[in-house]
Copies of this chain bind each other. A is one copy, B any other.
Amino acid sequence: MANHRVTLRPSNRTVDVPTGTLLSEAVQAAGQELGQPCGGQGRCGRCAVQVEGSGFRRRSTVRLSPEDLTAGYALACQTVVEGDLAVAIPPQERLQRMLVTDRVAARAEVPLAYDPATMQSLRVIQLALPEPSLEDNQDDQARLLAGLADAGVPSPSVPILVLRRLGPVLREAAWKPWVVVDQPDPTAPARLVDVSATPPKPLGLAIDIGTTTVTIYLVHLDSGEVLAQSAEYNDQIARGEDVVSRIIYAGKDGGLAELGDLVRRTIATLLERIRLRTAVDPAEILKVTIAGNTTMAHLFLGLPPASIRLTPYIPTVNRPERILGFESGLPVHPLASVDVLPGVASYVGSDITAGALAAGLDQAEGLTLFIDVGTNGEIVLGTRDWLVTCACSAGPAFEGAGVVDGMRATEGAIEEVWVHAATFEPTLRVIGGGRPRGVCGSGLLSLMAELFVTGVVDRGGHFKMDLGTPRVRQGEHGPEYVIAWPEESATGRVLALTKVDVDNLMRAKAAIFAGFTVLASRVGVDLADVQQVLIGGAFGKYLNIEKAIQIGLLPDLPWDRFRFLGNTSVRGSHMALLSRQARRSIHDLSERMTYIELSADNAFYDAFTAALFLPHTEINRFPSVAEIWARENGRPEKVPSREVGA
């Protein structure tokens, strides 16, 4: 096949590729990163590039206007190379490093009453061995094992990597070596992790791999304390913003390996940041626990995730065995255990089981609802005696993606909006205080609630065009609300919330609310009887509870029943790192949670459809909202007393 030269502008880097190569692959082969939030499916339009020359063919022009096409724009993921050409990549949204979790920097507490002697699987022991002689000439390993047996560690396994160091270390240590042993299961033999002539630090690492954000805690295993923490966007985002896009990407040639490398690169970056702050070499880390949704676990472990998204939604594994540092590809100690915690099903992973433990669901006496709002929304309902769980694909709308002027919660993002009930003029709170560049998740939720409560949109999510304000207008893509005029924005462009955006947000909130209601109806309980609503996820810390109820994302319960727990997943990972009992509890939770597959449930579709209103088809399920809405809109509705059933 003929080869064609692809030249990048402005760098003038080149690459030669055969006819038919995807332009996105050519650009990446030339060493240029290219964001593909929808996973190269031609859905998001984010990979649009400007092409010089005629040696290409567009397979799809979705999201490109006739003007764009004239200007040479093409979707890199939907365009094939058929001749020499040059490509200019428009400046991508600059990735701000001011993450939500970094902005808060809450000090992580030791999450349980910690007694390392009874809880910790990892032990650091100094032995005093008899010196060998011609009379006592057993081999080094036998001598070490005898000393360990005396120290209460009978017959541990001795990995070859330890054995290779053993002879020189014993002699350098003058037969008083330090030994690291790990015994996650007290009924099974322990395993040697390291031997050394100097005392090693007992360091562990708790990780939460989120679809969007990766969080790590460096933990001292004697005290349980977090020595340092760091969080960063998951580098996989460039290959798809939600798990389905990632699963599709993983199915491409080399995609699975690439996604694994990307999340490992993210973790390595965080470890490097911690090294600069604490001087801790990652290779000193002797134990790792990881929580994450099932897809994240598969991508980290290198397991093909294809079957997760195909009916009947079967993962390769929910409860993987521990692997070792060298098998994980992380820069930790090669013999550190790397424990990807047990999950429940394809869409309820260990972020939820670990989160449920951190939220105390295993101890909950009253009826409890646990919600993890992320790119997926996962829900657990029950008490310490029974638990049901489900997942609903909320999509990334609440994280600022999939919305025309959406963005991540970084500098320039509108994070809260108030709309004047008479003039319909907005007041904005912008992260960093300057002019806005877009709207992040909490801003979108806030704006939606305000537009609803002020009557700018009706209960069906339709804009009222007769309010007499220029803010509500017919835009290029249909009706929209102008959040910022060009002179008010940092970009010089209008920022608006369109009807399409509203529909996206309604679907996201409807999916989560339908999840509650189907779960509740499956077990025959009334949502009104829920004693506590525990909200996890990085997003949870910023969720405005009032507004979340107003749009029907959360059930209409007294506010004192809601608790915002922040990142429950990393907290559960931290607990499992410290305590064998906590690790066991997560395992037990993974077995006890009854998973409800919503995609196979007509009741879910009915509930979802019913929730595609503001706050809901049956507004009497939201008495507090009905009251406000009636007051603001001057049209009192009858507010009946609460009904039984979801």
Contacts and interface: CB of A to CB of B under 8 A. Distances in A.
A392 B168 CA distance: 26
B312 A133 contact: yes
A314 B139 CA distance: 5
A164 B299 CA distance: 10
A619 interface: no
B164 A312 contact: no
A167 B307 contact: yes
B139 A315 contact: yes
B158 A316 contact: no
A350 to B, nearest CB: 13
B600 A167 contact: no
A267 to B, nearest CB: 17
A317 B134 contact: no
A105 interface: no
A488 interface: no
A268 interface: no
B164 A303 contact: yes
A564 to B, nearest CB: 32
A423 interface: no
A30 interface: no
Nearest to A338: B160
Nearest to A343: B139
Given A132-B314, A157-B321, A307-B171, A597 B137 contact: yes
Interface string A137-170: 1111110000000000000011110011011100
A301 interface: yes
Interface string A265-307: 0000000000000000000000000000000000001111011
Interface in A100-150: 132-134, 137-142
Contacts of A306: 167
Given A134-B600, A137-B597, A160 B321 contact: yes
B316 A160 contact: no
B141 A312 contact: no
Contacts of A311: 134
Contacts of A307: 140, 167, 171
A168 to B, nearest CB: 6
A307 B169 CA distance: 12
Contacts of A606: none
A316 B139 contact: yes
A178 to B, nearest CB: 18
Contact of A163 (B138, B167, B171, B320): B320
Nearest to A143: B314
A528 to B, nearest CB: 30
Nearest to A141: B317
Interface string A338-381: 00000001100000000000000000000000000000000000
Nearest to A165: B304
Contacts of A318: 139, 141-142
A327 interface: yes
A173 interface: no
A123 B132 CA distance: 42
A418 interface: no
A605 interface: no
Contacts of A15: none
Interface residues of A, number: 43
Contacts of A164: 301-304
Given A160-B323, A321-B157, A312 B132 contact: yes
A327 B167 CA distance: 19
Nearest to A140: B316
A224 to B, nearest CB: 28
A562 interface: no
A386 interface: no
A160 to B, nearest CB: 5
A137 B311 CA distance: 10
A313 interface: yes
B167 A316 contact: yes
Contacts of A160: 301-302, 320-321, 323, 327
A138 to B, nearest CB: 8
A303 B139 CA distance: 12
A555 to B, nearest CB: 27
A303 B132 contact: no
Contacts of A320: 141, 160, 163
A251 to B, nearest CB: 11
Contact of A303 (B163, B312, B323, B346): B163
Contact of A304 (B141, B168, B316, B319): B168
Nearest to A595: B137
Given A158-B321, A321-B157, A301 B137 contact: no
A316 B139 CA distance: 6
6 contacts: A137-B597, A140-B315, A141-B317, A163-B316, A167-B316, A168-B304
Given A139-B319, A142-B319, A164-B303, 10 more contacts: A132-B312, A134-B597, A139-B315, A140-B307, A141-B317, A142-B318, A157-B321, A160-B321, A164-B302, A164-B304
